[in-house]
Amino acid sequence: MEPVEVTGVSMKRSLSIDEHNDLAQADEAKRQKVSECCLTKDQDNDCVVSSEAVTITATEGRNDVGAQIEEEEEEEEDGLLEEEEEDEDGEGESFADMMKHGLTEVDVGITKFVSSHQGFSGILKERYSDFIVHEIGKDGRISYLDNLSVPVDDEDPSEDIFTVLTEEDKQRLEELQLFKNKETSVAIKVVEDTKEKRTIIHQAVKSLFPGLETKTEERDGKRYIVAYHAAGKKALANPRKHSWPKSRGSYCHFVLYKENKDTMDAINVLSKFLRVKPNIFSYMGTKDKRAITVQEIAVLKITAQRLAHLNKCLMNFKLGNFSYQKNPLKLGELQGNHFTVVLRNITGTDLQVQQAMNSLKEIGFINYYGMQRFGTTAVPTYQVGRAILQNSWDEVVDLILKPRPGAEKGYLVKCREEWAKTKDPDVALKKLPVKRCVEGQLLRGLSKYGLKNIVSAFGIIPRNNRLMYIHSYQSYVWNNMVSKRIEEYGLKPVPGDLVLKGGTATYIEEADINSYSIHDVVMPLPGFDVIYPKHKISDTYKDMLAADHLNINNMKHKIRDYSLSGAYRKIIIRPQEVSWEVVSYDDPRIPLFNTDLDNLEGKPPPMFAAEGKYRALKMDFSLPPSTYATMAIRELLKMDTSIKNQTQLNTTWLR
């Protein structure tokens, strides 16, 4: 096997689609819609997106274990997450023009292929329903949504709790719960004064508005249910202990089916409608936005009954397979993800497709970190990470807040311009309707701590978001080093390479060379607790970090959070459970396979013509955690998967 170099990536093939001129509008339209059944006035536009949304890029197939949501250290926003507001600015330059400032694969060290086949053209994610991800749990089972029933529990309150309160009652209770007014209590008049009716109102308030307690009072001969705070603001994050049956596991586990929403955004939506803090949810891994994904979630002391009620309110979300368990889920516990992917309008012959798929199955692909690891703007996340490691805090602020060319929402553009002009965090912050983006969080920190205490200001950003930057730098180094390793030594193990034995990295000796294959070889992400290969690539690591003014022998940072211990990563991955089929179709709008939701609704599987206007490649494969499906597809198509390259190719193709 000889590696194939990519010095100038082929410009013949495109993953993108001819509706690219609509992309900017489509992205702005991807707001979630909610039916009115469980909304208060300020929750009209929370939940979902059109199934016809389109994209240019092929970068959301990550199988990466991402950050768990943490409670932010804020006082003025102790309640629900703010709603995002739409950018109402004009389009300006075209999306293609804006994306010419973005990264290409070569910019982040992705330069090699392992296979010798020619590749072929295809459209990835013409519809987000062309990309389905099912989580593989720690027991090896694939998560499917196939049961919407709620476990029977005599201790659950009546279903009437969801209808007994008026919309006005709900609004007043929410304002009380979130300390949004000066009232210390809310009184709800009991219209039908029976013990049963009063009990349901008590249950409704306590179930739907965590943190509130209730009591019955008589005023002027009429009875009222009075809601009040018993435990202060902390009650939102700590569900009441006494209201949960001791015989029931403290965590409700469920399968979350979602469309076109990443995991953390989905949890923010769920927490908003449940009126709880997002940090009471746990999960094994994050799933990206532009796909249909199915994964297990656990939530502390929220009943299955209450979760199931959200199915009536949220579009493009579905919750099911409920069970009560003693323990939450932990990041990294998953075994991987199973992908079902359609490449539409393929041009390759059946033989070309077979050669490419056989190569993927037998050889695999280079385990590069995908493009989404490095951000989509003209300022890559790895540059911020490098500045953090260098202790260049002024540069960190500049990189995050400075104006930049490319595709961004209008309010972010105005915020950056204001910051560049005034360097006043309070003035710049006023330009942001969405305060919980990284830029807003940093500006809030600068307002609180001042420009002379950037470390503390930066610390307001949730920890996992901060670590994302330095992990991006590690990934940037690793991509470049694995390309150098393959360029220097090809696709065979050599003495001095590293392999893992029982989780410990050891060197391959000359005498043992025949005991290993390229699939055993690992390379380190830089850090203070790893060893480096015993061949010339070791010096290449040192030289790359030295060029960035970093010492490979001193990766400990004076701020403990930013000290890099390092890790090991296999350089070649072979997908498992690989299968594929070439089908013909005439209508590009029809789905080419059923989703879990389709199966629940009893929809028949799609029928294919013997001959059709278009051909598509349907494929299934499983990958371990922290590998990128788009890098597997890159190997099939022999394509640069960056947004920049896809957009440029698409624009040229349409001319």
Which of 130, 288, 497, 596 does the annotation list as catalytic? Answer: 288
Going along 251-308, which residue ranges are E strands? 251-259, 281-283, 292-300
Amino acid letter for position 404: R
What is the distance between the alpha carbons of residues 69 and 237, in angstroms, rounded to a whole number? 13
- Distance between alpha carbon 108 and the CA centroid of its chain, in Å? 20
End-to-end CA distance of the chain: 38
Q: Is 638 left (phi over 0), alpha (psi -120 to 50) or beta?
A: left
Q: How long, in residues, is the chain? A: 655
The answer to whether 348 touches 337, Cβ cutoff 8 Å, is: no
Amino acid letter for position 315: M
Contact residues for 544 (Cβ-Cβ < 8 A; gap 6+): 477, 480, 481
Active-site annotation holds for 288: yes
The answer to whether 269 touches 317, Cβ cutoff 8 Å, is: yes
CA distances from 538 to 264, 462, 496, 545 (A): 37, 34, 10, 11
- Give me Rg for the CA atoms of the chain: 27
Helix (H, G, I), strand (E, B) or coil at 614: strand
Angle, helices 438-449 vs 393-401, to 10°: value is 130
The H or E element containing residue 416 is helix 410-422
- Encode burial over 392-403: b for 16+ CB neighbours within 10 A, e otherwise: ebebbbebbbeb
C-alpha torsion angle, residues 261, 266, 270, 275 (rounded to 10): -120
What is the distance between the alpha carbons of residues 285 and 262, in angstroms, rounded to a whole number? 11
| CA nearest to 257, candidates 152, 439, 403, 129 | 129
At residue 131's C-alpha, the angle toward residues 125 and 137, to 5°, is: 155
- Which stretches of 430-535 are DSSP H helices? 438-449, 454-458, 463-489
DSSP 8-class letter at 491:
S
As a 3-state breakdown, the chain gives helix, strand, coil percent values, each rounded to 5, of 35, 20, 45
How would DSSP label each residue in 85-140? ----S---S-HHHHHTTS--GGGGT--EE---S-----EE-SSGGGEEEEEE-TTS
What is the distance between the alpha carbons of residues 438 and 573, in angstroms, rounded to a whole number? 33
At residue 529's C-alpha, the angle toward residues 528 and 531, to 5°, is: 100
Question: Which pair of structure tokens corresponds to residue 268?
Answer: 């923010």
Enzyme catalytic residues: 288
